[in-house]
Amino acid sequence: MSQQDDRKSLDELIWRAIGRKELSFDFDKWKREHKEKIQQFESQTKQDASSFCVRIDVWRQIMKSRITRAAAVAAIILVAALSVVYLDELVRPAYGVDQTIEANHSVRYIHVKDTDASHDEPKEFWIECDAFGRIKNARWHIPGWDSPEDGPKIGVWKENRVQVWLRKKNMLFIAGDKTAAEKMLKLVEDSDPRLAVERLRNREAQGEVKIQIDEPDSKAEPIVVTATYLPESSSANKREVLLVDRATKLVRAVEFYQLKDGVYEYRGVLECLDYNQVIDPNMFILDEVPNNVTRLDQIGQEVGLVQGEVSDEEIAAEVVRRFFEALIAEDYAQAGKLLEGMPGDKMQQGFGHIKFLRIISIGPAAPHPNAKTGGLVVPCTVEIEKDGVVSQWRLDKLGVRQVFNQPGRWTIFGGI
């Protein structure tokens, strides 16, 4: 392998490895080399021609009759007249984003696939809207790559109640608070193409984005709306390309690009697979959860610790302290409240075989390496006894964040 100090462009390497100049096709030479096929093609053509002549003769017979001739002429005039009307209808106002916003009001059901360029498995959403266009019911499938610690997630939102099943951990979160529901819905709304258009219009009004609309003559081609965020925008260096259906004015897909080294690189696509195809109501029921799932029901109990006036770092460290103090006291119900509301019996199953002796160190808290969690990581060390052996247990990735449905309350969510 050659030793290069400078980073090379993969494009350049591939072109050099396999690139070729434009090839030319010598059709005359090809005909000489494939005479048999040419003859076969020509004999097929002769057969078709003879049957066509038969049809011509029939037409001539028909036109000999005065009655049929008059009828044929009338038909031609009628078609010509309709063509004039049809052409007039083709002269329509140019497309405007408001047409899509208006068309969105008619949407009752939508099925969306959100594909990240770096991953094969997409996120998928099914949404049912009410008469006002607001989300009424929703279901989402989130693949494991989005949050490797949690693994794949399936969620449903129905009648202000959220259920999220973490398959890898076999845990089912249940939250009923409106705030929690809205937070869960944000995930869905971020992938709702209807809102993509409204967001663009709002941002254009604020001078953050430049929009270009390309409206091809062919009705088979979608309208292309290119939204380029300006350098001063909070989304600078980003571009979104919306493909809008000519007939319905609804968004078919949204492509996402990021500016890198002067080129807009593709980052992913949101595709609208179905509009207004009625979704089976059973889609919004989470019935695939196994019987032995661990239920973390955050509706009927207080979870976590109230923050009060202390800082995020301080409350995170305090949650960890109270958690291990509860384990030292073998108060599994209390420890479970500080671990997303895990039932006490499940806590005992998980930790009962370890004797927690004392806390050696906690913190300092730091931002969690996975920013999507919105939480902190609190490294800590505890002394334990297991199978008669005393040792120190170091936890470097203990994660703490706010409880979904109970803002201002903090809980451990992972890393243990």
Which residues sit at the interface with other proteins, rule CB under 8 A?
1-11, 13-20, 22-25, 27, 30-31, 33-34, 37-38, 40-42, 44-45, 48-49, 94-96, 115, 117-118, 120, 204, 210-218, 221, 253, 255, 265-266, 268-269, 271
Return the number of the residue (218 or 292) whose C-beta is nearest other proteins. 218
Q: DSSP letters of 366-380?
A: EE-SSGGG--EE--E
Return the number of the residue (46 or 372) whose C-beta is nearest other proteins. 46
Query: In angstroms, what is the minimal distance from the CB of 147 to other proteins?
Result: 21
Query: In angstroms, what is the minimal distance from the CB of 19 to other proteins?
Result: 6
Return the number of the residue (96 or 352) whose C-beta is nearest other proteins. 96
Single-letter residue type at 207 = G
What one-character DSSP code corresponds to residue 361? E
Query: In angstroms, what is the minimal distance from the CB of 218 to other proteins?
Result: 5
Query: In angstroms, what is the minimal distance from the CB of 166 to other proteins?
Result: 27
Return the number of the residue (17 or 278) whose C-beta is nearest other proteins. 17
Query: In angstroms, what is the minimal distance from the CB of 244 to other proteins?
Result: 13
* CA-wise closest residue to 319 among 305, 300, 335, 303: 305
Return the number of the residue (27 or 132) whose C-beta is nearest other proteins. 27
Q: DSSP letters of 72-111?
A: HHHHHHHHHHHHHHHHHHH--PPP-HHHHHHHHTT--EEE
> What residues contact residue 163 under an 8 Å CB cut-off, 6+ apart?
155, 156, 172, 173, 174, 286
**Angle CA 105–110–112, to nearest 5:** 130
Q: Quick one: how far is CA 264 from the chain centroid?
A: 20
SS3 387: coil
Sign of the alpha-carbon dihedral angle for 337, 342, 348, 350 = negative
Return the number of the residue (13 or 81) whose C-beta is nearest other proteins. 13
Query: In angstroms, what is the minimal distance from the CB of 97 to other proteins?
Result: 10
